[in-house]
Structure 1
Amino acid sequence: MIPIPGEIQIGLRFAITALIAIAVAVALGIPNPYWAAMPVWAMSQPTRGLLLERGVFRLIGSLIGAFAGFALLSADLPFWLALTCFSVWILAMTACIPMMRGVHGYAPLLAAMTAAIIVIPALLHPVNALELALARVNCTFIGFVVGFALGFYLTPRSDAQAFERSVRQIALDALIYGRALLSGQTTDHRTEHLLLKELADAQINASIVSAGSIGGYRRRRDVQALAFAVIDFLSVVHSHVNHRGMESGLGHEFAPQRLAGILDLLTLIIDGGIETDVAAGMAEAYHIDKSLAETIDQIRVCASALLPTTDRARHPDHRRDFGYFSPFRDTRLAVESGLVAGVATFAAVGLASTTAIPGIHWAVLGLSITTTMLMTHPAPDRVGPVVLKGVLIGIAFAVAYRALILPHVVTPLHLIASLAPFLLIGGLARARKKTAAWAFDANQLFLLASHASLPSLQPGSDILWEAAALAIGVGIPCVAIAKLRLFTRRRIDRLTREIGMHLSRAAGVNSAKAPNLQSHFRHPLGFSLLRHSQEGRDDPSEGYSSLAAYRLLRSIEQLRLYRDSPDSSSEMSDLAASALSEVRKMHLDPLGTASRLLELQTDIVQQAEARAIRDAAFALRECHLFFASKKR
């Protein structure tokens, strides 16, 4: 037997599942049976857990959207009142998407899309509107049932162990990079930026790999804890590099060969080649700086938790000690996305209602759904051209199908057979990595524009106009967002301001009100810097280093301890208080503040308090643009 490549197997599965969904809709006599295949493409996922979790939230969202859409039509409201209510619904659902974690956002997304499919054609083309809407909803649920029933057992489970190995490798790469920094072998911060970006991507991939599994949420927290440990380690390494040669005789000397020895040991731990409790005892034999040893041990514990053979009872509370990132809810993005989607929908439907152009509802439907999807995507300017490419390809195939094949289809069996080659091409394209991104939209738009149903008689001019209307409706938001890059820039600026805000608040917070800065600021700041490194630029030489911002927060925390500790002399306590007073004004003149901090410690270079002050000054120089952005 000739082996079939994996991509071809997946493509065949997609095509067969879509064809079965259409066949079921045809057999049940539901109008517009091509709608039944559309959920199949949306439900096609690389892993079984992701199929299950996304499928559940898609189903919930579709039910909510269908209920809202039919309720609005049944209320028989005046046109403008109905349009206002519908636009508010789109606004609310779009705003909910960024506020929900991971795949949970599929519920409001599908609630908005399903309502749009029902309401927009009914408002602009009210002939048999309720009947057509009900048929589309029925087809959608047929597609869900068929897609889930076949896809669940044919889709492979996620390779959680391979993912955990890749995350442990990121931690090992960070340790190797730290050793290179300490030994002076590298000063290339691009590697650091790449590490932070990989950690941010790992947060997203953890949700994908862990979807639909009982231990999924625990794995996500383990990955988040390891990311936090790596950030702590890199922060301490930079502190050592900045202080090299300034602290002889203080017990802070650091020989890179010591780290080389412990890293060789940690390599075995991360690869699972040595028992973690034995490794912990061996690690104590290495005499290195306490702060560095603590961060290395954090990485050891967190990486060990991701080993498949780990006995979690050995360190059940490592996440509590090192923290984990809570789900981020971008309220500003939610408001902006909701307003843009809601206003765009209201304006498009209102404008279309004043024209008598046939099929205009297709353009409005495409514009409303595409705007909702793009506005809530992490990188709308990058994904917009990909969506548009898929739309144009799908519409081109649909026009060819309607003009050359559909007029010759006379029986339901012929209809199913006529779609088979197109679904096969679409399935193979969806399964192939190089074409998967645009193939999803191509398949959806092919089905939507093909009108693969009986009877099939339709003038050629109508075919071309409906295809053009769909392309225009989808193309307007794709091109506008891609060209303007407005919302991507705003997101990056908002992340930048957010980091500066965290630091400013931390500098001015009262010790009595917030005795533990870690719970108040370090965890949110760590999450912010990961997202910033993923979406924005990161260059210490330009004063735009996310990791430097994190180091600054650690310095502020250390200065607070020196100021408030009963073990500190009055002179050192006053010095720490003076440094904190300067830091509280850093948003006014970041570089000037850094210079004044260095002047404060000139007479006590060999003191531990001076180390914290220098840390703050060096870090502030490398992240001063986070404060400058607040003035823009």
Structure 2
Amino acid sequence: MSADWLLRRGFDGGRLCFASRTALACCLAVLVAWAMGLEHPQWSGMSVWAAAQPLRGQLLEKAFFRFAGTLVGTGAGVLLVLGAPLHPGILVLGLALWVGLCTWAGNLQRGFIAYGTVLAGYSASMVALLDTAHPDRVLHLGADRLATVLTGVVVATLAGYFLAGQGGVADLRARIGGLLVDLLRHLAGTAPAEGRALLSRIAALEEGLDPHAAGSLRSRREVRASRAVLLAAMPLLLRAEGAAPVPVPLARRLADAAGALDRGDAAAACRILATPEGDDELRRLVQGLAEALRGWDAHPVPPAAPPPVALHRDWIGAREAGLRAGGAMLLFGLIWLATGWSLGPFMLLGLSVMISLFSTFENPAQMMRHVSAGQALGMVAAILCHWLLWPLARTELQQILMLVPLLMLAPLLAGHRRTMLAATDYSMILLLMSQPHLPLQEGLPDLLLKGLAVLAAPLTAWAGYRLVYPVSLQRRQRHLVQMMLRDLAAIADNPDALARRRVWQARLYHRALRLVRLSERLAGARDRALAQSLAILTLAHAAMRCHALLAAPDTPDPTRRAAGLARRRLARIARDAGRAGPSLDRLAQRLDGAEAQAIRQAARGLRHVAPAA
């Protein structure tokens, strides 16, 4: 009854319990850090909120990268402060370069290592900017920062480890098995599956893999093997789209393998798929799936490397994020130096977090609205605490105890669907502005000015995300299409493409899955993205086929010339996509059977990529 009551009022019981546990651990961490005599015990509470995760593996891995990133960032901050006496600009320029570099690198990575890399950037800000008036204390401040973070990480890990879940690996494997069953039956012609729907399912499964990789090397190998299976299924799906039906003997084998997988016998499915019938290309694709399936079925997953998995990296977005973060830090750092604004360091500190951490989100400008709301609530709570409660305190312990009820409001924000994205920032700002200290040194005007400096950071970051290399789902989608076309052109242009076929294809397949998944968050973009992905992938297969025809000694001269011309036109597809179509049609006329049909399908797909090119 109580769960239904909460649900009707917009609360999620699971999130509410998790946030309540985290808030209690936050309060405990602040008390422990204060009892240890640390100067900034509130930083321990901030680390609890930053490290908390609902799954055990995620909790352990994020805690590790939280501390590792802080350690590296603290060292960089200390070095910058030690160099500042030579010239004040060294601090600003060095901080801008460091934050920009960490933001660039973080946007090229995945999972919690990306978080740790970005954290290393703004951790330097926390050391270099919080006590600029006393550079002689920077080593003490750095040691205090490390100690408080470690305290928070330890408390968060101990508080959450035994209550955190372990993740649904069995459910994930069942979903991958079900997908393979449907795909094999689709290839065999025994199930009315639709190719685009299967591609969408593959994309959804691939996106959900990374959380399962956290926490252990075995989990990483499991996820790598699962991803290899999904990527090996991609070319078979392409082969089924628009190509001639598979030979009847192979169709029977595929149906038998699907039945074995449906019974949970992946080993039998591997044996059935190991020696398929059909043309050379089809046999190679089916054997590739069998190889990936063999590595995925092993328990525990063997240390031997499965088929190559080359992942998408957003080089365009990473470069833009690094330039945006470094440029913003440099611009406002120079304004601070020119004006001497006493709260400039506080504003720069917040900006370094907003402009770097949230750049890894798919739509950071939209996130800034929730962040601003959470920080505004945290600022109000901090001011009320300083103004109304802390004047009554006689000890620092009483100050911390008076802060606890305000910290325990965070679970209510986290548990409600409308305010859940603002809850963490509420806690972070409340803690950042609430250092226990007697006697009180800041009056109400000082607190208001500090609060305005805090709010200036997300507003400035929002303007940066909207005006400087604007970040949106649509723009990320265009970047993916551009990179896929560059991959296609590179495959066509590289004479050694056949030797690196599996690596090229794995990266291209992964980018196609990312494009499909991203488009599903955009109204009306899903069908176009599915068509673009399938078109570019079929064109890549056509380019590989051109290389194979050119490499074969028995290829007739007219076919060789047609393949060479089609390959050269595909290498220039980003500049002139229209000329590749006639070349592919002429090549198809010199082939027969499934080969000719696949080349014609690639030529038809040009209409989907020509506008993007």
Q: Is the 8 A contact 1:43 1:54 kept in 2?
A: yes
Give the aligned length: 598
In the TM superposition, what whole-angstrom CA distance separates every residue of 1:80-132 from its partner, at most 9, and x where no partner exists? 23322332222332233234453223333222222101112333787977766
2:596 aligned with 1:610: yes
Deviation at 1:155, TM superposition (A): 2.9
Q: Which sits farther off after the overlay, 168-177 or 457-466?
A: 168-177
Q: Which residue of 2 aligns with 1:246?
A: none
Instruction: Decide whether aligned partners of structure 1 residues 172 and 355 sit closer, same or farther in structure 2, where only a CA change above 3 A counts.
Output: farther
Q: Is the 8 A contact 1:232 1:295 kept in 2?
A: yes
Q: Which residue of 2 aligns with 1:565?
A: 552
In the TM superposition, what whole-angstrom CA distance separates every residue of 1:448-489 from its partner, at most 9, and x where no partner exists? 134444333632222222112101122210344157771345
2:104 aligned with 1:117: no
In the alignment, which of 368, 371, 375 is matched to residue 384 of structure 1? Answer: 368
Q: Is the 8 A contact 1:62 1:114 kept in 2?
A: yes
Instruction: Decide whether aligned partners of structure 1 residues 73 and 400 sit closer, same or farther in structure 2, where only a CA change above 3 A counts.
Output: same
Structure 2 residue runs without a partner (length 5+): 4-11
Q: Which residue of 1 aligns with 2:47?
A: 39
Q: Is the 8 A contact 1:544 1:622 kept in 2?
A: yes
Q: Which residue of 2 aligns with 1:348?
A: 332
3-state SS, counterpart of residue 235 of structure 1: helix
Q: Is the 8 A contact 2:62 2:112 kept in 1?
A: yes
Provide the rounded CA distance (Å) in 1 between the counterparts of 2:450 and 2:508. 49
- Superposed, 1:13-52 pairs within 5 Å as 13-52=21-60
2:63 aligned with 1:60: no
Q: Which residue of 2 aligns with 1:217?
A: 220
Q: Which residue of 1 aligns with 2:485?
A: 500
- Superposed, 1:98-497 pairs within 5 Å as 98-123=107-132, 135-172=144-181, 174=183, 189=196, 191=197, 194-202=200-208, 206-240=209-243, 265=256, 268-271=259-262, 273-280=263-270, 295=285, 298-299=288-289, 302=292, 305-306=295-296, 319-320=306-307, 323-326=308-311, 328-355=312-339, 357-427=341-411, 429-430=413-414, 435-456=419-440, 458-482=442-466, 486-488=470-472, 491-497=476-482
- Superposed, 1:73-92 pairs within 5 Å as 73-75=81-83, 76-92=85-101
Provide the rounded CA distance (Å) in 2 between the counterparts of 1:67 and 1:285. 57
Instruction: Decide whether aligned partners of structure 1 residues 597 and 28 sit closer, same or farther in structure 2, where only a CA change above 3 A counts.
Output: closer
2:606 aligned with 1:623: no
Instruction: Decide whether aligned partners of structure 1 residues 434 and 50 sit closer, same or farther in structure 2, where only a CA change above 3 A counts.
Output: farther
Instruction: Decide whether aligned partners of structure 1 residues 440 and 522 sit closer, same or farther in structure 2, where only a CA change above 3 A counts.
Output: same
Provide the rounded CA distance (Å) in 2 between the counterparts of 1:417 and 1:470. 24
Q: TM-score, normalised by structure 1?
A: 0.82
Deviation at 1:524, TM superposition (A): 2.4
Deviation at 1:588, TM superposition (A): 4.6
Provide the rounded CA distance (Å) in 1 between the counterparts of 2:193 and 2:73. 58
Q: Is the 8 A contact 2:42 2:431 kept in 1?
A: yes
Instruction: Decide whether aligned partners of structure 1 residues 74 and 149 sit closer, same or farther in structure 2, where only a CA change above 3 A counts.
Output: farther
Q: Which sits farther off after the overlay, 560-569 or 524-533?
A: 560-569
Provide the rounded CA distance (Å) in 1 between the counterparts of 2:19 and 2:528. 48
Equivalent AA in structure 2 for residue 48 of structure 1: R
Deviation at 1:63, TM superposition (A): 1.6
In the alignment, which of 562, 577, 580 is matched to residue 593 of structure 1? Answer: 580
Q: Is the 8 A contact 1:363 1:474 kept in 2?
A: no
Provide the rounded CA distance (Å) in 2 between the counterparts of 1:584 and 1:557. 12
Instruction: Decide whether aligned partners of structure 1 residues 239 and 57 sit closer, same or farther in structure 2, where only a CA change above 3 A counts.
Output: same
Deviation at 1:26, TM superposition (A): 2.2
RMSD of aligned residue pairs (Cα, Å)? 3.9
Provide the rounded CA distance (Å) in 1 between the counterparts of 2:572 and 2:42. 63
| Percent identity between the two aligned chains | 23
Provide the rounded CA distance (Å) in 2 between the counterparts of 1:72 and 1:336. 24
Q: Is the 8 A contact 1:556 1:616 kept in 2?
A: no
Instruction: Decide whether aligned partners of structure 1 residues 473 and 437 sit closer, same or farther in structure 2, where only a CA change above 3 A counts.
Output: same
Instruction: Decide whether aligned partners of structure 1 residues 357 and 305 sit closer, same or farther in structure 2, where only a CA change above 3 A counts.
Output: same
Q: TM-score, normalised by structure 2?
A: 0.84
Q: Which sits farther off after the overlay, 580-589 or 401-410?
A: 580-589
Provide the rounded CA distance (Å) in 2 between the counterparts of 1:396 and 1:502. 51
Q: Which residue of 1 aligns with 2:8?
A: none
Deviation at 1:433, TM superposition (A): 7.2
Deviation at 1:337, TM superposition (A): 2.5
Provide the rounded CA distance (Å) in 1 between the counterparts of 2:194 and 2:588. 28
Equivalent AA in structure 2 for residue 526 of structure 1: Y
Provide the rounded CA distance (Å) in 2 between the counterparts of 1:311 and 1:214. 11
Instruction: Decide whether aligned partners of structure 1 residues 65 and 287 sit closer, same or farther in structure 2, where only a CA change above 3 A counts.
Output: closer
Provide the rounded CA distance (Å) in 1 between the counterparts of 2:421 and 2:261. 34
Provide the rounded CA distance (Å) in 2 between the counterparts of 1:65 and 1:366. 15
Structure 1 residue runs without a partner (length 5+): 244-251
Q: Which residue of 2 aligns with 1:249?
A: none
3-state SS, counterpart of residue 405 of structure 1: helix
Instruction: Decide whether aligned partners of structure 1 residues 219 and 396 sit closer, same or farther in structure 2, where only a CA change above 3 A counts.
Output: same
In the TM superposition, what whole-angstrom CA distance separates every residue of 1:381-418 from its partner, at most 9, and x where no partner exists? 34333323322232233233333322222233422322
Q: Which residue of 2 aligns with 1:552?
A: 539
3-state SS, counterpart of residue 217 of structure 2: coil
Equivalent AA in structure 2 for residue 50 of structure 1: Q
Q: Is the 8 A contact 2:260 2:268 kept in 1?
A: no
Q: Is the 8 A contact 1:18 1:41 kept in 2?
A: yes
Equivalent AA in structure 2 for residue 229 of structure 1: A
Q: Which sits farther off after the overlay, 131-140 or 588-597?
A: 131-140
Q: Which sits farther off after the overlay, 518-527 or 537-546?
A: 537-546
Provide the rounded CA distance (Å) in 2 between the counterparts of 1:319 and 1:137. 39
Q: Which residue of 2 aligns with 1:527?
A: 510
Provide the rounded CA distance (Å) in 1 between the counterparts of 2:299 and 2:150. 43
Q: Which sits farther off after the overlay, 162-171 or 57-66?
A: 162-171
Equivalent AA in structure 1 for residue 515 of structure 2: H
Instruction: Decide whether aligned partners of structure 1 residues 403 and 526 sit closer, same or farther in structure 2, where only a CA change above 3 A counts.
Output: same
Deviation at 1:196, TM superposition (A): 4.9
Deviation at 1:183, TM superposition (A): 7.7
Q: Which residue of 2 aligns with 1:509?
A: 494
Provide the rounded CA distance (Å) in 1 between the counterparts of 2:315 and 2:358. 17
Q: Which sits farther off after the overlay, 40-49 or 288-297?
A: 288-297
Provide the rounded CA distance (Å) in 2 between the counterparts of 1:71 and 1:365. 17
Q: Is the 8 A contact 1:95 1:335 kept in 2?
A: yes
Provide the rounded CA distance (Å) in 1 between the counterparts of 2:265 and 2:193. 31
